[in-house]
Amino acid sequence: MQTGSFGSGWPDVTTQTSKWTALQASLADLSRKHPDAVFASSMGLEDMVLAHAIFQQRLPIHVFTLDTGRLHAQTLDLIERVEDRYGLRIERVHPDASAVQAHVDQHGAYAFYDSLELRKACCSLRKVQPLRRALQGRSAWLTGQRRDQALTREALPEAEYDTHFGLMKYNPLASWSLEDIGALIQAEDIPYNPLHDQGYPSIGCEPCTRAIRPGEDLRAGRWWWEQKLSKECGLHAGNLKH
């Protein structure tokens, strides 16, 4: 396992055994209920736990990631390492190149710093619209969201109907803590992004992510120039309504 400040001091994994067993069982049940289910992985810590459970059991849950064109080099490298580790492919879903270029030509390459409206427009082009395409025709999708990640996720259910995309949405790790995640990663030697060891608990696009400072919440490094309650990109629009 990689070592560093972020991965130190996790609790004994024996305290997490029941959660891990329950997660494996719930994912297997979900795959039977929704044989066309997909998992949208951000390649973050939580998503690596879910991917490990899916790949380890060889569940028929299709795994993909949104390659926005602005991911960290470490994130792109992690995708390849995961594929080598499990012998399975993670699909890269890309934005419409012409739409992105038109936006950049009109507003500039870093317009997302200028206003919330332009930031959300960029997220829509690079993340929301590609996700909508990837979910089309599916009956369910999975995410690695947890309740203690952000104020907008405090009421996050484990299962909900996603009215934004028109299908069931499952958040199997909603009740898990960061300590639960860390213990599992350590015990199962699950690969993860080395940026987590450099103070990045939440990792998105490179220009929109920074390391957090001591005492800051876990998503403080995402769109750090904005107010806390605006820190959703649109993939989980329902969080803003809870």
The CATH number linked to 187 is 3.40.50.620
Low-confidence ranges of the chain (pLDDT < 70): 1-16, 228-242
101 known ligand binder:
no
Q: Which one-letter DSSP state was computed for residue 90?
A: P
Tell me whether residue 237 is in a domain: no
Instruction: Give the pLDDT score at 218.
Output: 82
pLDDT at 20: 92
Distance of CA 23 to the CA centre of its chain: 17
Per-residue pLDDT at 152? 77
In a domain, 232, yes or no: no
| Residue 88 maps to a domain | yes
Active site residues: 233
The pLDDT, as a whole number, for residue 47 is 97
Q: What is the pLDDT of residue 238?
A: 54
- Asked if the structure places residue 182 within a domain, the reply is yes
Q: What's the total number of domains in the chain?
A: 1
Please report the pLDDT score of residue 1 as a whole number.
Answer: 38
What integer pLDDT is reported at residue 3 of this predicted model?
39
Domain that holds residue 97: 13-200
* Ranges assigned E (strand) in 37-95: 38-40, 62-66, 91-93
**122 labelled ligand-binding:** yes
163 located within any domain: yes
Residue 110 DSSP SS3 = coil
**Which string of b and e fits 163-198 if b means at least 16 CB within 10 Å?**
ebbebbbbbbbbebebebbbbbbbbbebbbbbbbee
- On whether 208 is known to bind a ligand per the annotation, the reply is yes
Q: Please indicate, yes or no, if residue 7 is contained in any of the structural domains.
A: no
Q: Is residue 58 part of a domain?
A: yes
- Please check if 48 is assigned to a binding site: no
pLDDT confidence of residue 140: 98
